[in-house]
A and B are shown apart, each in its own frame.
Chain A
Amino acid sequence: MTDEKKSPRESYHDRIVGIARKEGIGLPDLLVTDLASRLAALRASSAETTKVAKSVVERFRKASVDAHESVGIVAAQSIGEPGTQMTLRTFHYAGVAEMNVTLGLPRLIELVDARRVPSTPMMTVHVEKKLKADRDAVQSIALQIEVTTIPDVASIGTVVEELKVLVSPQVALMHARGVKRADLERALNENIDTRSFRLQNGAGSGEARAFEVHLVEAGSQPVRTKKDEPAEEMPFKKLLEASEEAKGIRIKGVTGIKRALIKREKDEYVIYTEGSNLEGVLEIAGVDAARTTTNSVFEIYKVFGVEAARAALIQEASRTLSEQGLGVDIRHLMLVSDVMTNEGDIRAIGRHGISGKKTSVLARAAFEITAAHLLRAAITGEVDELKGVAENIIVGQPITLGTGAVNLVYRPTVAAKKPAEA
Chain B
Amino acid sequence: MAQGLSKRIKALQFAFLSPDEIRRMSGVKIITADTYDDDGYPIEMGLMDLHLGVIEPNLRCRTCGGRVNDCPGHFGIIELAMPVIHVGYAKEIKRLLQGTCRACGRMLPDAPPTRGEALADDSETPTPRTRESREERLCPHCHEVQQRIILDKPTTFRENGHKITPKEVRARLERIPDDDVRALGLNPRFGRPEWMVLTVLPVPPVQVRPSITLDSGERSEDDLTHKLVDVLRINQRLRENRDMGAPQLVVEDLWELLQYHVTTYFDNQTSGIPPARHRSGRPLKTLAQRLKGKDGRFRSNLSGKRVNFSARTVISPDPLLSINEVGIPVEVARALTVPLEVTPHNQEIAKELVKRGPSPPAAPGGGFQCGVNYLIREDGQRIKVMDKNSEACAELVAPGCVVERQLIDGDIVLFNRQPSLHRMSMMAHFVKILPHKTFRFNLCDCPPYNADFDGDEMNLHVLQSQEARAEAKVLMKVEEHILSPRYGGPIIGMLHDHITAAFLLTYQNPRFSRSEVTYLLSKLRFPVPPPAGTDKDGDFWTGKQLFSLTLPKDLSIEFRSNIWNRCDCPPTSCKHDSYVVVENGDLKAGTIDAKAIAFQKGAILDAIARNNGMPRARQFLDEMSRLSITAIGLKGLSTGIDDEDVPEDARHEIDDALHKARVKVNELVEQYRKGELEQMPGRSLEETLEVMVRRELGKARDTAGDIAGRYLGLENPAVILAKSGARGSMLNLTQMAGAVGQQSVRGERLLRGYFSRTLPHFSRGDLGADARGFVSSSYKHGLSPTEYFFHSMGGREGLVDTAVRTSRSGYMQRRLINALEDLKVAEDGTVRNTAGTVIEYKYGEDGIDPTRSFQGQAVPVEEILAQVLGRRVKPIVDAKGEPIAGAPPVSEEEMDLLAEAQLEEEGEEEESDEFGAPEEGPDFGGE
Task: Tell me the A residues contacting B by CB distance below 8 Å.
Answer: 1-11, 14-15, 28, 31, 33-48, 50-52, 55-56, 59-60, 62-84, 86-91, 97-99, 105, 108-109, 112, 259, 261, 274, 327-332, 334-336, 338-339, 342, 349-363, 365-367, 369-391, 393-395, 397, 400-403, 405, 409
Contact = CB atoms under 8 A, between A and B. Distances in A.
A206 to B, nearest CB: 26
A141 to B, nearest CB: 16
Contact of A394 (B185, B302, B854): B302
Given A34-B861, A77-B817, A378-B16, 14 more contacts: A15-B909, A15-B911, A37-B925, A42-B873, A52-B869, A60-B848, A69-B825, A76-B813, A81-B486, A91-B747, A328-B487, A338-B839, A349-B816, A393-B303
B682 interface: yes
Contacts of B810: 84
B809 A381 contact: no
A369 B267 CA distance: 13
Given A45-B898, A60-B848, A60-B858, A401 B421 contact: no
B349 interface: no
Interface in B583-604: 600
A387 B896 contact: no
B485 A7 contact: no
Interface band, chain B: 35 or more
A383 B12 contact: yes
B36 interface: no
Contacts of A64: 847-849, 852
A83 B821 contact: no
Interface in B803-835: 804-806, 808-810, 812-813, 815-827, 829, 831, 833-835
B454 to A, nearest CB: 18
Contacts of B820: 72-73, 75-76, 335-336, 339, 349
A351 B120 contact: yes
B875 to A, nearest CB: 4
Contacts of A56: 859, 861, 864
A98 B683 contact: yes
B852 A63 contact: yes
B752 interface: no
Contacts of A327: 486-487, 489, 600, 855-856
A88 B881 contact: no
Nearest to B804: A88
Interface string B851-881: 0111110111100110111001101111111
Interface in B678-711: 680-683, 691
B815 A376 contact: no
Contact of B88 (A74, A82, A372): A372
B313 interface: no
Contacts, number: 438
- Which of B810, B822, B880 is most buried by chain A, counting CB atoms within 10 A of its CB? B822
B812 A82 contact: no
B38 interface: no
Contacts of B89: 375, 379
Interface in B887-907: 890, 895-906
B861 A76 contact: no
B9 interface: yes
A41 B859 contact: no
Contact of B817 (A73, A351, A403): A73
Query: What DSSP secondary structure best describes chain A's contact surface?
Result: helix
A69 B423 CA distance: 13
A275 to B, nearest CB: 12
A48 B864 contact: no
Contacts of B817: 73, 76-77, 80
B849 A63 contact: yes
B486 A82 contact: yes
Contact of B191 (A367, A379, A401, A409): A379
Interface in B92-151: 92, 115-117, 119-122
8 contacts: A39-B865, A56-B859, A63-B859, A65-B843, A81-B421, A98-B683, A369-B119, A381-B190
B14 A382 contact: yes
A241 B925 CA distance: 67
B837 interface: yes
A28 B875 contact: no
A116 B843 CA distance: 28
B805 A72 contact: no
A52 B421 contact: no
Contact of A48 (B746, B844, B868): B868
A374 B15 CA distance: 10
B919 interface: yes
A196 to B, nearest CB: 34
Interface in B2-17: 5, 8-16
A167 B111 CA distance: 57
A354 B819 contact: yes
Contacts of A390: 303, 818, 821
B843 A393 contact: no
A137 to B, nearest CB: 18
Contact of A9 (B191, B804, B924): B924
B729 to A, nearest CB: 13
B808 A379 contact: no
Contact of B819 (A62, A350, A378): A350
B186 interface: yes
Contact of A88 (B681, B805, B854, B869): B805
Interface in B180-200: 185-187, 189-191, 193, 196
B291 interface: yes
Contact of A72 (B185, B288, B821, B902): B821
Contact of A381 (B14, B92, B926): B14
B287 to A, nearest CB: 8
Nearest to B421: A81
A397 B10 CA distance: 10
A395 B9 contact: yes
B915 A3 contact: yes
Contacts of B899: 1-2, 43
B916 interface: yes
Given A42-B926, A338-B839, A65 B819 contact: no
A80 B846 CA distance: 23
A366 B9 contact: no
Interface stretch (B155-163, B292-300, B527-535, B717-725): B292-300
B914 interface: yes
Given A47-B901, A356-B120, A383-B11, A388 B880 contact: no
B906 A11 contact: yes
Contacts of A377: 14
B915 A28 contact: no
Contacts of B210: none
Interface string B203-234: 00000000000000000000000000000000
Contacts of A351: 120, 815
Given A70-B823, A72-B824, A2 B868 contact: no
B840 interface: yes
A71 B843 contact: yes
A10 B848 contact: no
B303 A394 contact: yes
Contacts of B600: 327
Contacts of B21: none
A41 B119 contact: no
Contact of B298 (A51, A66, A365): A365
